[in-house]
Amino acid sequence: MSQVPEPPGDIGQPEVSPAVQDAMVRAATMYYDQGATMEMIARRLGVSRSSVSRLLKRARETGLVEITIHLPGSESAGVARRLAARFGVASHIVPVVRGASEAEVLDQVARAAGRLLTALLQPGQTVGVAWGVTTAAVARNTAAHPISGLTLVQLNGSTTVASSGLDYAGDILSRLAAAFDASVLAFPVPAFFDYEETRRAMWRERSVRRVLTAQAGAALALFSVGAPGGEVRSHVYVGGYLDASDRAALKRDGVVGDVCTVFLRADGTFAGIGLNQRASGPTPSQLAAIPQRVCVVAGRHKAVALLAALRAGVVTHLVVDEGTAQALDALL
């Protein structure tokens, strides 16, 4: 058990030693971001419960921790009500620190998504997970919470002509598996096949059908929406998955973004988009058959793509930063 200095009894004193500052950060991270109890934190830090309470109080007083309360009549609450009425989604709108970078916003949203995911999961379930920058952030920011008999299944292939993609997708799955003590079922196929007939042939293989059957039997799906642009760019648009001809075709087809590497128009339709015929991810119709579908989004540049996903009916639970929620609301 690691010992840390006791916080000063007189919390009005402005001086905070480096050791106490470190203890404040560790205690605040475990309490506010990871959902640990004061007793758990006390055991981890090797201090008393009252010391943990003083560390958390000192963290708030020094500005290390800022708490924002959104009252029922607040703007975010109003957006959540409108999204529920129009699309039937349960929205979790995450307040962010003013002036935060897109990377910082992503981490804040990812932590909230990790907490929601932990609350929703049940023993023995199969969970579909799509790879991407956002789900990678969720995997990094999800606290350990073992759940008996949980299975994670990869929803979309990740291989490109230049890379197997297994390290990237596998890292997301392995981090979540470690957090939940879950088993993993990978999907080692291309993100996009070169030929539609190759995809059809692969879908008949028993090893592939095993994964497809697990996907179809999932009780919950975790995914985001991809969109070009932004400070933190969606991996499908920068990871070597699309060449110049693909990008031109997507533009002609009026594509605004993707879900599980299946592309959508602004109205939520996906039929007739050529690249979708070669995509390995589930179609919106297949995704919508999964009972609980957690969509995690950070970044105003994704508002149009998020609206397309909502119109496609693929979201039951939305975790989104307040800026993107406001941009989405302006589009309704």
Q: What is the C-alpha to C-alpha distance for residues 28 and 33, in angstroms, rounded to an integer? A: 8
Query: If you ran DSSP here, which 8-state letter would residue 127 be given?
Result: E
**Tens digits of residue pLDDT in 67-117:** 655 545 468 889 999 999 999 999 999 988 778 888 899 999 999 999 999
Q: What is the pLDDT of residue 2?
A: 46
Q: Which pLDDT score, from 0 to 100, does residue 175 have?
A: 96
Give the dihedral of Cα atoms 270, 271, 274, 280; nearest 10 deg.
Answer: 70
- Contact indicator for 52, 27 with CB cutoff of 8 Å: yes
Q: Look at residue 14 in the predicted model and tell me its pLDDT.
A: 46
| H or E element at residue 193 | none
Those residues with Cβ within 8 angstroms of residue 134's Cβ, 6 or more apart along the chain or in another chain: 106, 109, 110, 224, 296, 297, 298
Predicted pLDDT of residue 13: 43
Helix axes 322-331, 303-311, angle to 10 degrees: 60
| Nearest alpha-carbon partner for 298 in 231, 220, 221, 222 | 231
Average pLDDT per consecutive 10 residues, the chain (332 residues; last block may be shorter): 49 62 84 76 89 88 67 75 96 86 92 93 97 94 93 90 63 96 95 95 96 98 89 72 90 95 97 95 97 96 97 98 96 94
**Helices first, then strands: H and E counts in the chain:** 14, 9
DSSP string, 222-268: EE--B-S-SSS--HHHHSS---HHHHHHHHHTTEEEEETTEEEETTS
Predicted local confidence at residue 3, as pLDDT: 53
Show the domains of the chain with their CATH numbers.
1-67 (1.10.10.60), 75-331 (3.40.50.1360)
Helix (H, G, I), strand (E, B) or coil at 287: helix
